[in-house]
Amino acid sequence: MRRLPAPVVSVGCIVRFLRVAVWGFVDAYQVFRDFYYSLGMPLRVVIEYRLRRRGVSLSDVFSKPWLLTKYVAEEMGGHNAELIAALFVEYVRKLGVDASVAWEALRGEEGWARFVSHVERL
């Protein structure tokens, strides 16, 4: 009999499950990190290359997520920044976040603050 391969479960999935199911909270910054790492590898490589060329590290973007679309717009064009924002909206809608709140989150610091307070209430 042929054995099926074991299912692959990422550490991020396990950590997210523990945060939500056991501790009962979701961190907005962790949601953003999970979203970023859910992007395809080729897109992440291009984004990180362009960020490093500007002298910006990925940890800077993780600490201020609203800067991602700003940097992407400046380096790769506004249409790519819109794509990243739309992908983010689709990603967080699965968590029950309102689309308008998610759309504003990557537009500026005030939008991110509203997103953080919205995620804390989930």
Structure confidence at residue 6 (pLDDT): 52
Stated pTM of the model = 0.77
Tokens found for residue 62: 């993780």
Q: How distant, in Å, are the alpha carbons of 32, 48, 56, 70, 79 from that of 74?
A: 20, 14, 13, 6, 11
Residue 102: phi and psi, rounded to 5, are -65, -40
Summarised one tens digit per residue, pLDDT across range 37-79 is 999 999 999 999 999 999 999 999 999 999 999 999 999 999 9
Structure confidence at residue 27 (pLDDT): 87
Structure confidence at residue 13 (pLDDT): 57
Report the chain's mean pLDDT, rounded to a whole number. Answer: 85
